Amino acid sequence: MTYRFAFSRPTASTDEEQTLFGQYQGAGYDGLQLKWSQYTPYLNDAEAFIARWGRPAGTASALITGGPLPDDDSKEQLRRLYKFAQHVGTEIIVYCHAVSRKLVTREGIAAFAPVFEEMGKEARQHGLQLSLHHHYDQPLMYREDFDVFFDGVRDPANVGLTIDTAHLVKSGINDVAEVIAAFSPYINNFHMKDFSNGDYRILGRGGIDFAPIFQAVRDIGYSGWISADEESGGEIGTGMTECLQFMKSGLGA
């Protein structure tokens, strides 16, 4: 099993961006999974992004985006993103489905599957993987939503799944290991994030029991990207260091 460790974190200033882009390699990470605001200023000019940050390995290993598919504007936004991603060395497009769970039915969730598969096929044509990020108050929120959606996917190569530990727990799904085992054919990315008392925490500081989660990752023979999705609001350097130590220790990496 080969894990590639990434770091992802919102930034609120130029100084924080400099720290994020400038320190991830020195901290021991293989890449970054960039939030929307960290790359969209360059969406129409990939060369400007490269001029700003250079071409260190993994700088834009994944781009996190979202929208209310299946509307046409969301599809066109993804197509623009695919072109940008090709130029900056991206591997995965992580897609948060920005539709409230309150507004969809089981039939609606099932109907989303062929749309994601269509866009996933287009992603593969650009040398990319499309990965659906389940999310609190989005269509894949409850455990049964996963079954409904993935029952409608015909080719697992077209639609990946990003497992986010904190969003599962926040959504009331406490057996994260079971979800990992059940949907292992689709998983192509992990967002490791801790959670406690309604807030996200630095890995190891929250209330999630990661021992069965790390065991499930090993059990499915997963190889690929595992990202610390650090949204606790703490200091960047501290989060980088503690999260990587926690993941490597838990996975035996």
The percent of residues above 90 in pLDDT, for the chain, comes to 99
The mean pLDDT value for 149-155 works out to: 96
**Tokens found for residue 179:** 């979800």
What residues have CB less than 8 Å from 105, skipping those under 6 apart? Answer: none
pLDDT surpassing 90 at residue 216 = yes
Return the number of other C-beta atoms located less than 10 Å from residue 232's C-beta: 20
Number of domains in the chain: 1
Rounded Cα gap, residues 141 and 104, in angstroms = 11
Q: Identify the band that residue 1 occupies on the pLDDT scale cut at 50, 70 and 90.
A: confident
- Hey, CA dihedral for 150, 251, 206, 226, is it positive or negative? negative
**CATH number of the domain that residue 236 is part of:** 3.20.20.150
Compute the residue count for the chain: 253
Based on DSSP, count helices (H) and strands (E) in the chain, helices before strands. Answer: 10, 10
Q: Looking at the DSSP assignment, which residues form a beta bridge with residue 192?
A: 228
pLDDT per position as a tens digit, 35-76: 999 999 999 999 999 999 999 999 999 999 999 999 999 999
DSSP 159-183: -EEEEEHHHHHHTT---HHHHHHHT
Band the pLDDT of 85: cuts 50, 70, 90: very high
Task: Summarize pLDDT for 171-211 with one digit per residue, the tens.
Answer: 999 999 999 999 999 999 999 999 999 999 999 999 999 99
Domain containing 169 equals 3-251
- pLDDT at position 186 is 98
